[in-house]
Amino acid sequence: MFRRYFLLFLLVISIPTIGQEQIEYDNRQLNRSLRKADATEFKNLQEMDIQVFNGGEDKISGKFFKVPEKNSQIRYIYVGRVNSCRAGGCSVSGPERGDRFDSEYFDYFILFNKNGQVEEVKVFNYEATHGYEITSRGWLRQFEGYKGEKELQVSKNIDAISGATISVHAITDDIIQKTGMLQKDI
């Protein structure tokens, strides 16, 4: 009897980490945003050869894609995952910080125009326990127009959110990094 409960307990605690392995690149929200922008569906996008790694490890945390239609307002797309510390801080520092037991995550995408300027940011899979407020369309709009020319700083030109400090910093830093990577490649 104890053994059954123990196995059930192991199954329940492992469920949150099972979904963490793969990013759903071809998701409904991304396809909806592409249709609104008169762009192709995800299945027709061309993957770009920009290597995106998670914290120095060999785990890919996202991919860049190119829209093949020249007349689309959206030209480039980044779909990726942001790992951030659990509320209360990380117990591990350094390259191991992205470990699934020491971090939480969310998946999001950025739509860029032909100049590499942010057109839209959308969080489509939020698996963290705190900071859900960053999924708000109103809050995410402040990244629109960002091209890497100006500095983004939380509490200066990016609104801070009480209770979502870790997520706010994580997504802001990731958008800065991914926009910079794209700007170097286009």
Distance in angstroms (rounded) separating the CA atoms of residues 36 and 158: 26
39-93 pLDDT, tens digit each: 888 999 999 998 776 555 545 589 999 999 888 889 999 999 998 766 555 554 4
Residue 70 has a pLDDT of 82
Residue 3 lies in a domain: no
Residue 119 lies in a domain: yes
Give the CA count within 13 Å in the CB-facing half-sphere of 129: 8
**Spatial CA neighbour of 121 closest among 140, 102, 107, 94:** 140
Residue 12 lies in a domain: no
* Cβ contacts of 166 within 8 Å, gap of 6 or more: 84, 85, 87, 130, 131
Residue 48 has a pLDDT of 96
Q: Token pair for residue 102?
A: 């020491």
Residue 124 lies in a domain: yes
pTM of the model: 0.80
Residue 158 lies in a domain: yes
Average the pLDDT over each of 24-33, 48-57, 126-135, 145-154 and give the range with the smallest value: 48-57
